[in-house]
Amino acid sequence: DAGVTQSPTHLIKTRGQHVTLRCSPISGHKSVSWYQQVLGQGPQFIFQYYEKEERGRGNFPDRFSARQFPNYSSELNVNALLLGDSALYLCASSSSTGGGRETQYFGPGTRLLVL
């Protein structure tokens, strides 16, 4: 079975632009989470979606938004890009949400560089 897929793998943007990152979860998984990982740190939680509803939001500005589609794929949008948005953006899928025992499986990530 295919794992979590993300596109694109790499992206270069300039300050002020916007970007859309895409994620397809493991088949059968209904929950998608987005994380940002800057160099030298652990991933930081941005959003979680389950059955197309937002179930959690991390401490990120409103420039960050996301949505989940009926097929459970997801998009992360970032507007008005800043240099500090340069990071590895990770998508993780799990079979459900709540309870805390569900394992999250990560995709390969999208590496975003903002110039």
Partner 1 sequence: QKEVEQNSGPLSVPEGAIASLNCTYSDRVSQSFFWYRQYSGKSPELIMSIYSNGDKEDGRFTAQLNKASQYVSLLIRDSQPSDSATYLCAVPSGSARQLTFGSGTQLTVLP
* Interface residue list for partner 1 (CB under 8 A): 33, 35, 40-45, 48, 55-56, 58, 88, 90, 92, 97-109
Closest separation in Å from C-beta 101 to partner 1: 5
Closest separation in Å from C-beta 16 to partner 1: 27
How does 47-86 read in b/e, with b if 16+ C-beta sit within 10 Å? bbbbeeeeeeeeebeeebbbebeeebbbbbebeebeeebb
Residue with tokens 């340069």: 86
Task: Rank residues 78 and 110 by Cβ distance to partner 1 and give the closer one.
Answer: 110
Task: Rank residues 41 and 71 by Cβ distance to partner 1 and give the closer one.
Answer: 41
Task: Rank residues 37 and 79 by Cβ distance to partner 1 and give the closer one.
Answer: 37
Closest separation in Å from C-beta 51 to partner 1: 13
> Could you tell me the sign of the dihedral formed by the alpha carbons of 2, 66, 40, 14, in that order?
positive
